Chain A
Amino acid sequence: METLQIAEFVLPATRRPEGYFEEVEIAFEKAVSNSADIRRYYRLGSEVLCLRFAGEALLKSLSMAFSHLELPPCLPSLTINCWDCDSTDTPMPPPPWLMTAYGPRGHIQGFNNEVIRTVYNPDNSILHMYNNRRRLGIYWMQHPRILPYWEMSFPMRCIIHWWSKLRPFQLVHAGAVGFDKGGILLTGKSGSGKSTTALSCVRSGLKYVGDDYVMISNEPIPFVYSLYNTGKLVPNSVNMLPHLSEKISNKESLSSEKALFFLNEHFPEKLSAGFPIKAIFLPRVTHQKNSRIRQASSAESLLALAPTTVLHLEGDGKIAFDKMRLLTTSVPNFWLDLGTDVEQIPYLIADFLERSNG
Chain B
Amino acid sequence: MSSRYYISHLNVIHEVIDGEAVVINLEHGNYYSMNDSGAYLWQLIQNGFNEEQITAIMSEQFSISSETAKASLKVFLDHLLEEQLIISVETLPVKEQVMVESKEMVYNPPELTVFNDMQELLLLDPIHEISEQGWPHFAQNTLEKF
Measured CB to CB, the residues of A under 8 A from B are 85, 91-92, 94-95, 99, 102-105, 120, 122-123, 125, 127, 142, 150, 153, 189-190, 212, 232, 256, 258, 297-300, 302-303, 306-308, 310-312, 317-318, 321, 325, 328-329
The answer for the CA separation of A127 and B29 in the assembled complex, in Å, is 23
Across the interface, B15 reaches (CB within 8 A) one of A102, A122, A302, A311, namely A302
B residues in contact with A142, CB < 8 Å: 131, 133, 135
A-facing mask of B101-136, CB < 8 A → 1, else 0? Answer: 000000000000001011001111101001101111
Across the interface, A120 reaches (CB within 8 A) one of B15, B16, B31, B135, namely B135
A234 nearest CB neighbor, chain B only: B144
Contact B33 A212 (CB under 8 A): no
Across the interface, A311 reaches (CB within 8 A) one of B18, B24, B125, B146, namely B24
Contact B124 A104 (CB under 8 A): yes
The 3 closest A-B pairs by CB, nearest first: A299-B20, A307-B31, A122-B138
Contact A310 B127 (CB under 8 A): no
A-facing mask of B1-38, CB < 8 A → 1, else 0? Answer: 00000000000010111101110101001010100000
Across the interface, B24 reaches (CB within 8 A) one of A127, A258, A307, namely A307
A317 nearest CB neighbor, chain B only: B26
B141 nearest CB neighbor, chain A only: A122
Given A299-B22, A321-B24, residue A189 in contact with residue B133 (CB < 8 A): no
Whether, in the assembled complex, B94 has its beta carbon less than 8 Å from a beta carbon of chain A, the answer is no
The answer for the CA separation of A307 and B114 in the assembled complex, in Å, is 12
Across the interface, A105 reaches (CB within 8 A) one of B18, B20, B121, B146, namely B121
A residues in contact with B125, CB < 8 Å: 122-123
Contact A125 B137 (CB under 8 A): yes
Across the interface, A189 reaches (CB within 8 A) one of B118, B130, B140, namely B118
The answer for the CA separation of A286 and B47 in the assembled complex, in Å, is 40
The answer for the CA separation of A92 and B122 in the assembled complex, in Å, is 28
Across the interface, B145 reaches (CB within 8 A) one of A85, A99, A123, A232, namely A123
New A-B pairs, 19, CB < 8 Å, besides A306-B13, A307-B118: A102-B136, A103-B124, A104-B123, A123-B140, A123-B145, A150-B145, A189-B117, A189-B118, A256-B143, A297-B17, A299-B22, A302-B15, A303-B33, A306-B24, A307-B115, A311-B26, A311-B122, A312-B145, A318-B13
What is the CB-to-nearest-CB distance from A150 to chain B, in angstroms, rounded to a whole number? 5
